[in-house]
């Protein structure tokens, strides 16, 4: 189905907003020696086009792993290679081995910003148009996906390529809900092999696929499960083939992707571990292996209710609910969480707009972005980021008010209170006095305040899960 004029308008305005946001500062600008995420992405292009593929994850004279060593899966390498080749055609000094570190000229900034927008268009926009064409709230869902404040600010201002992996995930969801299981499996493999954090979505997808297979006869079950299993195996084999020189090479890549040696958390993040650490130093109470087991156990336990729901009562609403709940469970409880991983929650959250109050979805998309305000402050675009968050919130709430089946009465006061708290913390970050003994006090406050929001929403997903169970079970009990 070709997009109508409304969809085209939404996409064009989103592209304009993306480009406006890209005129800001970025992660690591004029901050040697490491610079920041911008330099990390550029450095990976440098490595991808200059080193043999077998050496990209290995330490060596031309690959200092302490200077932005690769820690994303192979599809990121292939994307970096493509970008690096184009960069080399334009100006080979941008990706010259060992001497191009910290490039900051205007031409290179334009190239890097353009590469994000091109990836956004080719993968994410296409994926969103494909999926939302099947939704009743088509234009609203597309607008929320296109103008997602956290995604646009992190990719276009801070600088990353999250839209690629999230786009692959959205295509995967589209194929799964249309019963194209093989294609759905292929695109999830692509998403997972672009960013390993796509594991946040893996359990509901597994349960959804297993539920479909279990409805078949034994022979059809074996056939379907074999097709899906072989699809995953072959997809991984093709993607990983250049890195499968030997067992040691594979283990080296895996160790880069899952750095357990970094500990439970590094930077401040709005999850339970960073929040509890303000009360009790949990990293001193347990050793690293115990914390890994504890976090994995809590993550699986928190994910279990919605995963059981999607397996027992498979439908699109329950699938989206499970994707949302599980992604948030991983963010809140898992090991080595990054603040930007909240974007993995924001996408399935947006898909729930079809089934829940749109004002709640809009506000939590804003909360996802506001929870990363310390990154915006560090990268020196906090003013533009906060302004965009406000504009997104006001405009989308206004649009939603005309279409929502429920009024805003129950939500307006809570949203105002929530926003007031975030604005107060942001003002303290910018103008507040910094205590010598507590230099990170405002960042800690922001993370704790955001954690409360996310934990409350996680509880809401549990209530949604319980309601879905009861709505299907209670009628059967009455008839018996």
**pLDDT tens by residue, 401-414:** 765 554 455 678 89
In whole angstroms, what separates CA 429 from the centre of its chain?
A: 25
In whole angstroms, what separates CA 1 from the centre of its chain?
A: 27
- H or E element, residue 34: none
pTM here? 0.94
Task: Output the CA torsion sign for 417, 421, 423, 424.
Answer: positive
**What pLDDT is recorded for position 480?**
31
Question: Which ranges in 334-406 belong to alpha helices (H)?
Answer: 343-351, 358-370, 373-378, 382-403
C-alpha pair distances (Å), 243 with each of 64, 85, 160, 237, 257: 18, 20, 24, 10, 13
Residue 32 scores a pLDDT above 60: yes
Question: Which residues are CB-neighbours of 236 under 8 A, at least 6 positions away?
Answer: 189, 193
Tell me the C-alpha distance between 265 and 328, whole Å.
16
Of 333, 281, 313, 269, nearest in space to 467 by CA:
313
Residue 322 scores a pLDDT above 80: yes
Judge whether 265 and 274 are in contact, CB under 8 Å. Answer: yes
Average pLDDT over residues 94-118: 95
Average pLDDT over residues 169-194: 97
- Model pLDDT for residues 131-171, shown as the tens digit of each residue: 999 998 899 999 999 999 999 999 999 999 999 999 999 99
Residue 64 scores a pLDDT above 50: yes
Structure tokens at 66: 């302490």
Tell me the C-alpha distance between 242 and 53, whole Å.
7
Average pLDDT, the chain: 92
Tell me the C-alpha distance between 433 and 379, whole Å.
20
Residue 462 scores a pLDDT above 70: yes
Residue bearing tokens 């927008």: 117
Tell me the C-alpha distance between 217 and 171, whole Å.
28
Phi-psi domain of 91 (left: phi exceeds 0; alpha: psi -120 through 50; beta: other):
beta
Enumerate the β-bridge partners of residue 63.
Answer: 60
């Amino acid at each position: 189905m070709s997009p109508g004029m409304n969809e085209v308008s939404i996409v064009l305005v989103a592209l304009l907003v993306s480009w406006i946001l890209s005129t800001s500062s970025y992660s690591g600008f004029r901050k040697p020696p490491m610079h920041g995420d911008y330099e990390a992405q550029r450095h990976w292009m440098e490595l991808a086009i200059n080193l043999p593929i077998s050496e990209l994850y290995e330490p060596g004279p031309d690959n200092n792993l302490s200077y932005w060593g690769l820690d994303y899966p192979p599809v990121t390498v292939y994307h970096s290679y493509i970008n690096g080749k184009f960069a080399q055609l334009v100006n080979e000094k941008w990706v010259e081995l060992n001497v191009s570190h910290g490039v900051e000229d205007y031409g290179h900034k334009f190239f890097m910003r353009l590469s994000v927008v091109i990836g956004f268009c080719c993968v994410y926009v296409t994926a969103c148009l494909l999926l939302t064409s099947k939704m009743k709230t088509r234009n609203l869902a597309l607008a929320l996906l296109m103008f997602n404040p956290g995604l646009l600010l992190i990719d276009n201002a801070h600088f990353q390529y999250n839209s690629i992996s999230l786009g692959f995930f959205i295509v995967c969801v589209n194929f799964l809900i249309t019963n194209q299981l093989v294609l759905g499996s292929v695109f999830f493999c692509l998403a997972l092999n672009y960013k390993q954090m796509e594991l946040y979505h893996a359990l509901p997808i597994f349960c959804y696929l297993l539920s479909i297979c279990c409805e078949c006869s034994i022979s059809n079950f074996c056939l379907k499960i074999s097709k899906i299993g072989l699809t995953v195996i072959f997809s991984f084999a093709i993607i990983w083939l250049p890195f499968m020189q030997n067992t040691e090479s594979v283990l080296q890549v895996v160790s880069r992707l899952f750095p357990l040696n970094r500990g439970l958390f590094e930077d401040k993040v709005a999850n339970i571990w960073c929040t509890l650490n303000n009360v009790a130093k949990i990293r001193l109470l347990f050793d690293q292996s115990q914390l890994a087991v504890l976090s994995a156990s809590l993550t699986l336990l928190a994910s279990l209710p919605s995963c059981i729901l999607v397996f027992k009562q498979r439908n699109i609403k329950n699938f989206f609910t499970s994707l949302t709940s599980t992604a948030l469970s991983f963010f809140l409880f898992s090991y080595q969480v990054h603040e930007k991983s909240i974007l993995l929650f924001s996408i399935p959250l947006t898909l729930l707009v079809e089934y829940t109050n749109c004002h709640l979805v809009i506000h939590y998309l804003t909360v996802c972005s506001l929870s990363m305000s310390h990154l915006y402050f560090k990268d020196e675009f906090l003013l533009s980021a906060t302004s965009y968050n406000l504009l997104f919130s006001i405009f989308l709430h206004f649009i939603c008010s005309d279409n929502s089946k429920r009024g805003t009465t129950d939500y307006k006061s809570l949203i105002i209170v929530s926003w007031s708290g975030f604005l107060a913390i942001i003002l303290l970050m910018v103008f507040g006095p910094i205590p010598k003994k507590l230099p990170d006090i405002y960042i800690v406050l922001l993370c704790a305040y955001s954690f409360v929001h996310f934990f409350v929403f996680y509880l809401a997903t549990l209530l949604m899960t319980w309601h879905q169970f009861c709505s299907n079970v209670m009628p059967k009990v009455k008839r018996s």
